[in-house]
Copies of this chain bind each other. A is one copy, B any other.
């Protein structure tokens, strides 16, 4: 009997997150304060985050216990299945073994719930009863609204105006969980009113939505905090439950991956699947090929500069050493909205720079082609973001077909595409565009990277 789903007994679900910081092969440089450009400390983040999350952000402990209340909610959908993609292997005719961690089974439909739940929890125990955030494609807004419903907290989501119009189902889903969704730029914040007046025809941007959500937190007098869905270390940390579970599941069938793949925007899903395996390469000498799959339309790692840069267009966040296309870089409107970020988590960037990991970039048409091969064999419609990981996994499997190698490939299926069917429509009707980045678009982004001498 073929064991398609490798389940992990709920009693064996890991009860601590893995923190990669102490295992880094070389020391990392600190974040810099956006005003002083001096290394910034925990107190600089206290206006927008609660102390337990700030402590995780700077922690050097190797493992951080998952609170019982968070475990209880994780158990609603975790451990997630690890699936052996027998049918995909057969469709490709590859000798490779392909495994994927199915994060699409979460109530939010993606991995994002792994961090929204602990973020809501730590805010709640810190006396915070309301969270503000931004959302582009809507995955993160959905995940935070569910987490807030679980802890009986209020939630306000600034949704990029264009998405608010184009993705009404995502908005409805967020509202179904009791959160308030505001089209950004809005009239509810000072920065929103200012930018709405400056750009009357603007459909909004993630940069503007972040500014609105941060303003709500900063001006609340402490009752409201801000919540971020990727990029920061505490977010990456919460996602390591993905890779920790996958490791145990692979062990249970006597397997260990030769290749580990995740799609990569801000880096939280990619870190989630890869970080728990990283020390085996850094300290254990294992030969693992770690691949971050990113969009060619926003090729942060493959074509970005390794430098300090801001996390947002408005230059309000600390500067992080990262691969960046520049905080003013404006990526084309690809459907993988979750990967349209100019930078990448500093921990992922550091490991790429040190040669532990690498990145590949894909145009969206080959990604949707891979998504349909996957859907028709495995039955699941993947999110456009996840299709980048699938493309990379299929390419690695096809290399094995050529070479005859029987590699074990592991990738993260970060989410399903139930709310992204317009993208599939565009692909199926031949109307999906690929984007070759023009040099002046790249130059404009690069010009915004601060020159710190």
> A364-388 vs B: 1/0 string, CB under 8 Å?
0000000010011011110000000
> A1-22 vs B: 1/0 string, CB under 8 Å?
1111101001100000000000
Chain B residues near A428: list those with CB within 8 A.
Answer: 172, 175-176
A178 within 8 A of B: yes
Chain B residues near A424: list those with CB within 8 A.
Answer: 172-173, 175-176
Chain B residues near A150: list those with CB within 8 A.
Answer: 87, 376, 379
Chain B residues near A418: list those with CB within 8 A.
Answer: 109, 169, 173, 418-419
CB pair B10 A107 closer than 8 Å: no
CB pair A177 B375 closer than 8 Å: yes
- The closest CB in chain B to the CB of A4 belongs to B75
Among B5, B7, B168, B425, point to the contact of A172 (Cβ < 8 A). B425
A146 within 8 A of B: yes
Shortest distance from the beta carbon of A2 to any chain B beta carbon, whole Å: 6
Chain B residues near A380: list those with CB within 8 A.
Answer: 107
CB pair B376 A149 closer than 8 Å: yes
> A57-72 vs B: 1/0 string, CB under 8 Å?
0000000000000001
Interface size, A (range): 35 or more
Q: Report if A376-B4 is in contact (Cβ < 8 Å); known contacts: A422-B172, A424-B172.
A: no
Q: Report if A76-B379 is in contact (Cβ < 8 Å); known contacts: A421-B169, A424-B172.
A: yes
- The closest CB in chain B to the CB of A371 belongs to B176
A122 within 8 A of B: no
> A147-160 vs B: 1/0 string, CB under 8 Å?
00110000000000
The complex places the Cα of A4 from the Cα of B418 at a distance, in Å, of: 25
Chain B residues near A435: list those with CB within 8 A.
Answer: none
> A401-438 vs B: 1/0 string, CB under 8 Å?
00000000000000000110110110010000000000
- The closest CB in chain B to the CB of A429 belongs to B175
Shortest distance from the beta carbon of A80 to any chain B beta carbon, whole Å: 11
A256 within 8 A of B: no
The complex places the Cα of A375 from the Cα of B381 at a distance, in Å, of: 22
A306 within 8 A of B: no
CB pair B2 A75 closer than 8 Å: yes
CB pair B421 A379 closer than 8 Å: no
- The closest CB in chain B to the CB of A178 belongs to B376
Shortest distance from the beta carbon of A172 to any chain B beta carbon, whole Å: 4
Q: Give residues 82-105 of A contacting B (CB, 8 Å).
A: 83, 87, 105
The complex places the Cα of A419 from the Cα of B422 at a distance, in Å, of: 13
The complex places the Cα of A76 from the Cα of B378 at a distance, in Å, of: 7
Among B169, B177, B372, B379, point to the contact of A107 (Cβ < 8 A). B379
Q: Report if A75-B5 is in contact (Cβ < 8 Å); known contacts: A372-B176, A376-B178.
A: yes
The complex places the Cα of A378 from the Cα of B149 at a distance, in Å, of: 10
Chain B residues near A146: list those with CB within 8 A.
Answer: 379
CB pair A173 B421 closer than 8 Å: yes
Chain B residues near A108: list those with CB within 8 A.
Answer: 379
CB pair B425 A168 closer than 8 Å: yes
The complex places the Cα of A21 from the Cα of B191 at a distance, in Å, of: 68
- The closest CB in chain B to the CB of A175 belongs to B428
CB pair B168 A421 closer than 8 Å: yes
The complex places the Cα of A31 from the Cα of B125 at a distance, in Å, of: 64
The complex places the Cα of A168 from the Cα of B376 at a distance, in Å, of: 20
Shortest distance from the beta carbon of A294 to any chain B beta carbon, whole Å: 24
Please give me the 7 A-B residue pairs with the lowest Cβ-Cβ distance, nearest first. Answer: A107-B379, A172-B421, A169-B421, A418-B418, A149-B376, A4-B75, A172-B425
Q: A4-B76, A150-B379 are in contact. List 6 more A-B contacts (CB 8 A).
A: A76-B379, A77-B379, A168-B421, A176-B375, A177-B375, A418-B418
Binding site for B on A (CB under 8 A): 1-5, 7, 10-11, 72, 75-77, 83, 87, 105, 107-109, 146, 149-150, 168-169, 172-173, 175-178, 372, 375-376, 378-381, 418-419, 421-422, 424-425, 428
Q: List 28 A-B contacts (CB under 8 A).
A: A1-B11, A5-B10, A5-B77, A7-B10, A76-B87, A76-B378, A76-B379, A105-B105, A107-B380, A109-B418, A149-B375, A150-B376, A150-B379, A168-B422, A168-B425, A169-B419, A169-B421, A172-B421, A172-B422, A172-B424, A172-B428, A173-B418, A173-B421, A175-B424, A175-B428, A176-B375, A177-B375, A177-B376
